[in-house]
Structure 1
Amino acid sequence: MTTLSIFDQSQPEHARTVTQNPSEIRELLATKGIRFEQWPTRDLPADATQEQILEVYSEEVARLKEECGFQTADVVSLNPDNPQKEAFRQKFLDEHTHSEDEVRFFVRGQGLFYLHFGDQVYAVMCEKNDLISVPDGTRHWFDMGPEPEFTCIRLFSNPEGWVADFTGEDIASRLPRYEALAEAGG
């Protein structure tokens, strides 16, 4: 279930707010400039290719490209049997920013976005049907867990794709990881 947990940076071991109400999540994230929506998903074969996924969601992707000026879209997909899963997880676990919005639409599975605003961190457990758009310059990181299982459509303004500027802050290491939040349901 999609969950938003809000942590105070000074007490990262306990969330002060947890909600699973989609409209409340949308409203709380909107106050921070984060776009959050839930879109219907379509049944796809487990082995669907990037081309098949983008074709099935071509109308939605075209609409976002036109609305937000995105140039490219691709699909990222990871499964627990991927031999490089730990390296992929580590790549996204440190706090970073981007010079463009980071947009993900979850077609399958789930992943955890952490969004850092001043002395608060919003942890959003996104799952199938969730679209999240993190504005450029927003400090954040992503945790896919030790056994990743997700497929996301990603949209980019920069044709080079995912380019991160790491902040060097250690905040990501001080908050509960995916395993703790997934187990606790938030």
Structure 2
Amino acid sequence: MTLLTVWPDTGPGTVLVRTSDPAEVAEELGRLGVRYEQWPVLPGVTARNALEAYAAQVERVTGTEGYVLVDAMEMTPSDDPGWVAKAGEARAKFLAEHTHDDDEDRFFARGSGVFYLHLRGRVHAVLCEAGDLLSVPANTTHWFDMGTRPDYVSIRFFHDDDGWVGNFTGSPIARSFPTFDAITAGR
């Protein structure tokens, strides 16, 4: 179940909004220009079959948003030391506050991750789970946490072949807010 938590950007001591109601999540994020929608959750989706399984939804999004590249990626937990290192590197890559020159649209076909949007003096933590599509507009200050044991299949949409290149702000703000693991443990 999706969860939106909003705090002042001065710290997580005061919860301004906390909701798991999809309509409230969509409305709150819509005020920020962020698109949130839910698609059906289909069983057995992997990175190999996600684009086929969600072909109609992918076609609609690429047609309305003008995306030229769509892919699917998968992170499945393993105790293999190589996977542990890969997962740690993947998590660290976008755990610091940054922006992208392109929109960041991501659909979770399986599993979950948290997008933290830093807008208008607030931090909006959006726990996205299977069935959730989140569209973060270009140049939105944010970070992403997939947790210490990432487990998800996601479909990603791009306007060009370069994908998402992070423009890091250098701000330490991300270290001040609850991590994916803390948010999912405290539901």
Q: When the two structures are superposed, what TM-score results if normalisation uses the length of structure 1? A: 0.93
Quote the Cα distance in structure 2 between the aligned partners of 1:49 and 1:112: 19
Residues 10-54 of structure 1: CA distance to partner in whole angstroms, max 9, x if unpaired?
A: 232443321111100110000000000011122225xx343x211
CA contact (8 A) 1:13 1:176 kept: no
CA contact (8 A) 1:9 1:120 kept: yes
Which residue is equivalent to 1:113?
115
Which residue is equivalent to 1:148?
150
Quote the Cα distance in structure 2 between the aligned partners of 1:71 and 1:13: 41
Residues 95-150 of structure 1: CA distance to partner in whole angstroms, max 9, x if unpaired?
A: 11111110001000010000001320000000000000000010011000111111
3-state SS, counterpart of residue 16 of structure 2: strand
Alpha-carbon spacing, 1:63–1:85, altered in 2? closer, same or farther (3 Å): same
Using the aligned pairs only, state the percent identity. Answer: 41
Residue identity matched to 1:32: L
Q: CA deviation at 1:9?
A: 1.4
CA contact (8 A) 2:100 2:139 kept: yes
Residue identity matched to 1:59: A
Structure 2 residues not aligned, in runs of 5+: none
Residue identity matched to 1:172: A
Q: Which moved more, 1:13-22 or 1:119-128?
A: 13-22
CA contact (8 A) 2:116 2:142 kept: yes
CA contact (8 A) 2:94 2:166 kept: no
Quote the Cα distance in structure 1 between the aligned partners of 2:8 and 2:47: 40
Structure 1 residues not aligned, in runs of 5+: none
Which residue is equivalent to 1:61?
58
Q: When the two structures are superposed, what TM-score results if normalisation uses the length of structure 2? A: 0.93
3-state SS, counterpart of residue 109 of structure 1: strand
Residues 56-88 of structure 1: CA distance to partner in whole angstroms, max 9, x if unpaired?
A: 212211111110010000112112213311111
Q: Which moved more, 1:138-147 or 1:159-168?
A: 159-168
Matches within 5 A, 1:9-48: 9-44=9-44, 48=46
Quote the Cα distance in structure 2 between the aligned partners of 1:15 and 1:76: 33
Matches within 5 A, 1:81-92: 81=78, 82-83=83-84, 84-92=86-94
Q: CA deviation at 1:176?
A: 1.0
Which residue is equivalent to 1:126?
128
CA contact (8 A) 1:95 1:172 kept: yes
Q: How many residues align?
A: 182
Alpha-carbon spacing, 1:87–1:58, altered in 2? closer, same or farther (3 Å): same
Quote the Cα distance in structure 1 between the aligned partners of 2:18 and 2:54: 31
3-state SS, counterpart of residue 11 of structure 1: coil
Which residue is equivalent to 2:178?
176
CA contact (8 A) 1:13 1:175 kept: no
